[in-house]
Structure 1
Amino acid sequence: MQPAPPSSDWRAERLARLRTLILLADPAVVEEVKWRKPTNPDGVLAWSHDGLICTGETYKDKVKLTFARGAALDDPTGLFNASLTGTTRRAIDLHEKTEVDETAFLALIREAVRSNQARAAG
């Protein structure tokens, strides 16, 4: 993972917009920075509600959102475009010119929260 991009960088702007959408989709979401280490002192943004929803990271050429239990989520519009062969995680890689279907993204966040709540309820 690359260090956090400068605030004028497209990646920072994209991650800020996704953060806004996540908070809009679930105002009760908990946002944290996790997994700080010497090689990644800024850590990784993580959003949770009754369990981890997703993480957000910036790389040189993309912003990556990794959904902890993405394989179990319905993705009718095909937002997931990375980590598609795993049995648990799914990811969305967004490059500079990639447009985000915000309505579908909001629905995906809400579905991830519902899935976490169902698992927590047992």
Structure 2
Amino acid sequence: MAKLEDQSQAPQKIDELIASIEDWRGERLSQMREWIKEAVPDVTETWKWMGSPVWEKDGIMIVGDAHKDKIKLTFNFGALYEDPHGLFNNGNGNQRRAIDVDESLDLNKEHFIELVRAAAAYNAEKKAAKKTAK
């Protein structure tokens, strides 16, 4: 799947992706999507990089990918804000952190929502700092 030129179709493409995954990964990606939208109601869904759902608010927050044995949720600046409940289980670079969701991972909804809100807050602070610097 190619990058969408008209991002207004992104939610539909994400729906189609979820529907095409016929095992637990489709259900789990759908659940994570709903939690992201609950955490940040005005989040924008986009579709990038040959078929990845992306959630944005003042920039990219989270990229979702379905792999053979997991769902990977990569938080674009996850290394730069707190993860007080230790949800990140992948990534050790200077910027990104991820949650690899396998079939047995039992994520706490409130903790996940808190982390998504931290991502949105980080992006908002970064955007405000750019405006101030100008």
Same fold (TM over 0.5): yes
Give CA-to-partner distance per residue, 1:2-27, whole Å, 9 cap, x none.
x8773431001000000000000011
Q: What aligned pairs does 1:102-121 form with structure 2 within 5 A after superposition?
A: 102-121=109-128
* Structure 1 position 97, deviation (Å): 1.1
Which residue among 26, 36, 58 is the counterpart of 1:12?
26
Question: Is there any run of 5+ residues in structure 2 with no aligned partner, and where?
Answer: 1-16, 130-134
Question: Is there any run of 5+ residues in structure 1 with no aligned partner, and where?
Answer: 37-42
TM-score normalised over the length of structure 2: 0.80
| 2:20 match: secondary structure | coil
Greater CA radius of gyration, 1 or 2?
2
Q: Over the residues paired in the alignment, what is the CA RMSD in angstroms?
A: 1.4
| 2:93 match: secondary structure | coil
Paired position in structure 1 for 2:44: 30
Q: Which runs of 4+ in 1 moved over 3 A?
A: 3-8
Judging by fraction of residues, say which structure has more helix: 2
Contact 2:53 2:65 in 1 (8 A): yes
**One-letter amino acid matched to 1:56:** G
Paired position in structure 2 for 1:44: 52
- Tell me how many residue pairs correspond in the alignment: 113
TM-score normalised over the length of structure 1: 0.88
Give CA-to-partner distance per residue, 1:34-62, whole Å, 9 cap, x none.
112xxxxxx00000000110101000110
Paired position in structure 2 for 1:39: none
Structure having greater relative contact order (Cα 8 Å, sep ≥ 6)? 1
